[in-house]
Amino acid sequence: MEGLVAAERRLLEAQRRGDVEALDELLHPDVVAIGPDGATFTKEDDLDAYRSGALRITSLVERSVEVRDDGPSGVSRTVVDVEAVQGGAPAAARFGYTRLWVVADGRWQVLAAAFGPVEARDDPGAAPGRSPG
């Protein structure tokens, strides 16, 4: 089984490419995600956004990845710069993702996630005293 850092990076790559098949493998059937506005999303909500083209990521650049795992579960904290087209409108932001991962069907899968905008001071990948932009 791959390590949790590798699973997190595989998820980022699947998001970047809009790879619904890979996302389907990486998201637990019961996953629940909370977005910046407090809205909740299921696995099907997420997959449907990619399938329909309602969400198309044009750039996703990893700023930092931190993981902690205890074998059957783990948590990742990832900061990325994202450019996307959502609902036909372009958008760009730095997001922090916190994900709860579990081992299911012999592989890491995301069971819960929350994400929202991150300011430079909240970004563990930013150098002290420097603006990351």
Task: Give average pLDDT by consecutive 10-residue segment, the chain, 133 residues.
Answer: 91 97 98 95 96 96 95 96 94 96 96 92 46 30
What tokens were used for 66?
């931190």
Report the alpha-carbon distance of residue 71 to residue 33 in Å, rounded: 22
Whole-number pLDDT of residue 125: 52
CB contact set of 19 (below 8 Å; sequence gap of 6+): 13
Whole-number pLDDT of residue 120: 63
Per-position DSSP letters for 10-62, written without gaps between them: HHHHHHHHT-HHHHHHHEEEEEEEE-TTS-EEEHHHHHHHHHHTSEEEEEEEE
Whole-number pLDDT of residue 119: 84
Whole-number pLDDT of residue 133: 30
Report the alpha-carbon distance of residue 67 to residue 97 in Å, rounded: 11
Whole-number pLDDT of residue 114: 98
